[in-house]
C-alpha cells in the first residue's frame, strides 16, 4: 500500500459504524493500513466501490489495545443463551 493511499483514506474515510447511513452496507472491504494519533489507532479499509472506511482501537494505560467501543463501555457481556 502506498503512503498516499493511506493519506487519502485519512482525509476521506467514514466510520464503518455508519456504512448503512452512507448506503454502503454489505460492501466488501479490504484492510489498507493503520495510523496512530495519541492513544488511538485508526485502521483503514477500502470497499469494493473505492470508498474509504475506518475503525478505531484504543491503547489502554495497561498497553492493551481494544476496540473503541470496548474502551468506552467496558467488556462485552456474554449472553447466557437463556431467554425469559
* pLDDT tens digits, 22-58: 999 999 999 999 999 999 999 999 999 999 999 999 9
Q: What is the pTM of this model?
A: 0.79
**pLDDT value at 77 more than 70:** no
Name every residue whose Cβ is closer than 8 Å to that of residue 55 and which is 6 or more positions away in sequence.
15, 16, 42, 43, 45, 67, 68
**pLDDT value at 78 more than 60:** no
Amino acid at each position: 500500500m502506498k503512503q498516499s493511499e493511506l493519506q487519502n483514506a485519512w482525509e476521506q474515510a467514514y466510520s464503518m459504524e455508519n456504512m448503512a447511513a452512507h448506503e454502503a452496507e454489505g460492501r466488501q472491504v479490504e484492510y489498507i493500513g493503520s495510523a496512530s494519533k495519541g492513544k488511538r489507532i485508526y485502521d483503514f479499509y477500502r470497499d469494493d466501490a473505492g470508498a474509504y472506511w475506518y475503525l478505531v482501537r484504543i491503547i489502554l494505560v495497561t498497553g492493551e489495545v481494544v476496540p473503541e467501543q470496548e474502551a468506552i463501555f467496558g467488556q462485552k457481556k456474554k449472553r447466557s443463551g437463556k431467554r425469559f
